[in-house]
Amino acid sequence: MRNLRYHIQFLLSATNQHGVHSPFIYTYVTQCLYVRKTYVRKKSENILLKSIGYFEAKRVWIPSVNNGLQESIQREFPMVTFDHGPYDILYLDLHEAVKLLNDTSEEHKVHNDTVLLIYTVRDKPSLVSLWEKIKNHHEVRVTVDLFYCAGVFFRKEQAKQHFKIRT
């Protein structure tokens, strides 16, 4: 019941593509997120697969425990590798994302165009403070909160902005 209340609050404060004034995020929303293609049932994994296609990602990092997702990625995008960074897309939970951003030895894993997709943004109310920490990190330029997952962008040419998007 609590999750339903949070979801309703999110929907009331979120926008669609018409409230987005960043050309980069507008095209990501309209040409990727709003495309009606379903690869897998889980929403956050479907966003990952759509994003791989949209950004033409070549190197992707996902948790090693998720072999089914890796098989889905290889089936849809055979050119994707999972071996070493820097990665084009990282698919992490919130705790791993905070660790990545705070650990300076992890710099070789990301580049200017890396997309960090976080799949546990609202699993627990206690995670909200971690999400705020990521949004306020000095290297993070743009965040896109989709309620069930979130995108983090490091593009230095982008102004610092945070979006809540209904999908």
Per-domain residue ranges for the chain? 2-164
Q: For position 2, what pLDDT does the model report?
A: 58
d(CA 66, CA 123): 18
Say which amino acid occupies 68: G
Indicate the range of 8-12, 32-36, 88-92 predicted with least confidence.
8-12
Is the per-residue pLDDT at 105 higher than 70? no
Greater model confidence, 32 or 167: 32
With cut-offs at 50, 70 and 90, classify the pLDDT of residue 84. Answer: confident
Closest CA to 153 of 34, 44, 43, 25: 25
Average pLDDT over the chain reads: 88
pTM comes to 0.90
Is the per-residue pLDDT at 107 higher than 70? no
The burial of 80, by beta-carbon neighbours within 10 Å (0-12 exposed, 13-18 middle, 19 or more buried), is given as middle
CATH number of 2-164: 3.40.50
Q: For position 104, what pLDDT does the model report?
A: 58
User: What tens digit of pLDDT does each residue of 15-30 get?
Assistant: 877 777 889 999 999 9
With cut-offs at 50, 70 and 90, classify the pLDDT of residue 150. Answer: very high
Q: For position 106, what pLDDT does the model report?
A: 65
DSSP 165: B
Q: For position 28, what pLDDT does the model report?
A: 94
- Chain centroid offset of residue 139 CA: 15
Greater model confidence, 43 or 103: 43
Is the per-residue pLDDT at 1 higher than 60? no
